[in-house]
Amino acid sequence: MIRRPPRSTLSSSSAASDVYKRQLSSIAVIFSKIDEDNDGLMSFPELLAAYYPYCSSREIDQFVSKYDKPVKKQVAEVRQLTEEQEEELEGVMRLFDQNADGELDPKEMAYYCANLGIGDETIAEWFKEYDTDQNGTLSLAEFKEFFRREWDS
């Protein structure tokens, strides 16, 4: 995309020469003729229309669609944990769960994350995102979901 010269440039300080001002004014007029939708940007089809004034809109659209293929949207595949990974996470959960209540609280998580350089702010963000029942702890299912998503990123 090409942007239209800012209007403030057209009426800039008195130090600018009259020739410079006329040139900028001419460029702005040409740009406004090319910018058919008046959005302040010159799109590729608008530029093609300026270069090839005898082409119809249909011909320009055909050219653009032929040579400027749309980007294919990639659908992110949701990763599923294997049975082995789920068993390993259950073991990690039992290890982290110091009071053996089946839930992991931020202090229990911080105990193991401190050696990895993961601070309390990051842990708080994790709990905010993955503690879906908002009881202040991660259940086994929430813990598994946490690792499933974090492994993907």
pLDDT tens digit string along 25-74? 888 888 888 888 888 888 888 888 888 888 888 998 888 888 777 777 77
100-148: pLDDT as tens digits: 999 999 999 999 888 888 889 999 999 999 999 999 999 999 999 888 8
Terminal Cα-to-Cα distance of the chain (whole angstroms):
32
Quote the CA–CA distance of 113 and 122 in Å, as a whole number: 10
Side-chain half-sphere CA neighbours of 4 within 13 A: 21
Do 93 and 143 contact (CB within 8 A), yes or no?
Answer: yes
Q: Model's pTM, two decimal places?
A: 0.49
